[in-house]
Structures are given as C-alpha cells and as structure tokens.
Amino acid sequence: MTHGRLIRQVGYHTRNYFLEQWDRFKDVPRAILAHSTHVKGIGTYRNGVEHDRMEVILATGIPEDVCCKINLGCIDPATIDPSEFENREDEGILVVPHAGEMLFRLADGTVPDIDEL
C-alpha cells in the first residue's frame, strides 16, 4: 500500500469526522483524507461520535484486527455467495457486478488495457 502508514494512522472516516477535528488532521496530506472519505462515504460527526451513513465491509484476506483499527469491517471472501445479496436493495444491500471494471470503462464502453491506465 503506497500510503499504508498514513491510512493506518488516520483510518477511514466520513468527511465531517476530519473537518470537526481539523487541528488533529491538518498535517495529514489531503489526498489521504480524500481517499479515506471516498471509501467511507458521507456521514456526520456530533458530540465526538461519528455516525456513518453506511457500513463498509471488505471481502479480504486482510486480518480482522487491521480492518477494525482502520474503521472498516471485513469478511472472508471464501464465505460469500454474491447471489445471496442480489435484489435486496429494499434492505439497503446493493450488489454491483463487475464494479471494478466500471471504474475504468471508456466513453465508447470498452475497458482499456492495463498498460493504457
């Protein structure tokens, strides 16, 4: 992880978490804070308590204690059957098939070669 030390230092939080404690985080590079808030999403920070709009859970081999320290949930990917989560939007669960591919889809609908990125 390129910025692993700093991510482990600040964790993943909502924008307001950082803004309401700006003196504590003012020396952290803004790109790190932006990345953190982009992952965690919007939420509030009131009376010293962060209120997330959503819970971010990684399907990962990263150890649970590491995920908890950076304010993310985790689950073993081998235990997941994605079809169990489909069509559950009314429960607040959204499955986005091939979401990673959508990040790099070109205007013409094609996916670029990795060398082009």
Residue 108 has pLDDT above 60, yes or no: yes
Report d(CA 59, CA 50) in Å as an integer: 23
For the chain, first and last CA: distance in Å? 18
> For the segment 4-34, what is each residue's pLDDT rounded down to a tens digit?
889 999 999 999 999 999 999 999 999 999 9
Q: Which pLDDT belongs to residue 82?
A: 87
Length in residues, the chain: 117
Report d(CA 2, CA 103) in Å as an integer: 20
Q: Which pLDDT belongs to residue 114?
A: 47
Q: Which pLDDT belongs to residue 94?
A: 85
DSSP-derived secondary structure letter, 112: P
The average pLDDT across 89-114 equals: 71
Asked if 13 and 40 count as a contact pair (C-beta separation under 8 A), the reply is: yes
∠ Cα 99 33 35 (to 5°): 15
Which has the higher per-residue pLDDT, 111 or 40?
40
Asked if 98 and 82 count as a contact pair (C-beta separation under 8 A), the reply is: no
Domains annotated for the chain, with CATH where assigned, are 4-116 (3.90.226.30)
Q: Which pLDDT belongs to residue 2?
A: 64
> For the segment 35-78, what is each residue's pLDDT rounded down to a tens digit?
999 999 889 999 999 999 888 998 888 899 999 999 999 999 99
